[in-house]
Amino acid sequence: MTSGTARLCRQVRTQAGLVRGEPRDECGVIAFKGIPYAAPPVGPLRWRAPQPPTPWHGVRYALTFGAAALSSLENDPRPEPRSEDCLTLNVWTAARATDEKRPVMVWIHGGGFQFGSSANPATDGRLLAAKGVVVVSFNYRLGVLGFLAHPELDVTSPSGNYGLQDQLAALRWVKANIAAFGGDPDNVTLFGESAGAMAVGLLMASPLARRLFHKAIGQSGAFWDGRHGPLQSFEEARARGVAFARRQGEASIAALRAMPAEQLNAAAPWRFQDDHVAQAFSPSIDRYVVPDVPARRFLRGEQMQIPLLSGWNGAEEFPFMARSLPAHSAQAFRSAAAETFGQNRLTDFLALYPADTDAQARASAAALTGDMVIGEQCWQWLRLHRASTRAPVYGYHFVYTSPYTPIASHVTEIPFVFGTLTPQRVIGCTTPAADADRAMAETMMSYWVNFATTGNPNASGLPPWPVYDERDVVQILGVSIAARINPQADRFAFLGSFREDGVLPMRWRA
In the chain, domain spans:
13-509
- pLDDT tens, residue order, the chain (510 aa): 454 468 998 999 999 999 999 999 999 999 999 999 999 999 999 999 999 999 999 999 999 999 999 999 988 888 789 999 999 999 999 999 999 999 999 999 999 999 999 999 999 999 999 999 999 999 999 999 999 999 999 988 777 999 999 999 999 999 999 999 999 999 999 999 999 999 999 999 999 999 999 999 999 999 778 788 889 999 999 999 999 999 999 999 999 999 999 999 999 999 888 888 888 999 999 999 999 999 999 999 999 999 999 999 999 999 999 889 999 999 999 999 999 999 999 999 999 999 999 999 999 999 999 999 999 999 999 999 999 999 999 999 999 999 999 999 999 999 999 999 999 999 999 999 999 999 999 999 999 999 999 999 999 999 999 999 999 999 999 999 999 999 999 999 999 999 998 889 988 887
Q: In this structure, how many other beta carbons lie within 10 angstroms of the beta carbon of residue 3?
A: 4
Q: Report pLDDT for 261.
A: 97
Of 169, 150, 195, 388, which is closest to residue 289 (Cα–Cα)?
169
Q: What are phi and psi of 154, to 5 degrees?
A: -70, -15
Cα Rg of the chain (Å, integer): 22
Side-chain-side CA neighbours of 74 within 13 Å: the count stands at 9
- Angle of helix 195-204 versus helix 376-387 axis, rounded to 10: 20
Separation of alpha carbons 481 and 436, rounded Å: 13
Q: Determine which helix (DSSP H) or strand (DSSP E) holds 187, and give its type and residue range.
A: strand 183-193
Strand pairing report for 229-230 and 308-313: unpaired
Strand pairing report for 102-108 and 473-477: unpaired
Contact between 202 and 182 under an 8 Å Cβ cutoff? The reply is no
Q: Report pLDDT for 3.
A: 44
Q: In this structure, how many other beta carbons lie within 10 angstroms of the beta carbon of residue 70?
A: 22
Separation of alpha carbons 46 and 239, rounded Å: 19
Residue type (1 letter), 225:
D
485: helix, coil or strand?
A: strand
Q: What are phi and psi of 112, to 5 degrees?
A: 65, 20
Q: Which CATH class is domain 13-509?
A: alpha beta
Separation of alpha carbons 250 and 115, rounded Å: 27
Separation of alpha carbons 146 and 376, rounded Å: 27
Residue type (1 letter), 68:
A
Long-range Cβ contact pairs of 487-491 (< 8 A, separation 24 or more): 487/397, 488/371, 488/375, 488/379, 488/397, 489/379, 490/352, 491/352, 491/353, 491/367, 491/371, 491/375, 491/376
pTM here? 0.97
SS3 content of the chain, % helix, strand, coil (to 5): 35, 20, 45
Active-site positions? Answer: 194, 316, 410
Q: Report pLDDT for 275.
A: 85
Q: What are phi and psi of 359, to 5 degrees?
A: -65, -40
Separation of alpha carbons 339 and 54, rounded Å: 55
Of 437, 192, 160, 154, which is closest to residue 309 (Cα–Cα)?
192
**Counting Cβ atoms within 10 Å, is residue 43 exposed (0-12), middle (13-18) or buried (19+)?**
exposed
Q: In this structure, how many other beta carbons lie within 10 angstroms of the beta carbon of residue 151?
A: 12
Separation of alpha carbons 94 and 25, rounded Å: 9
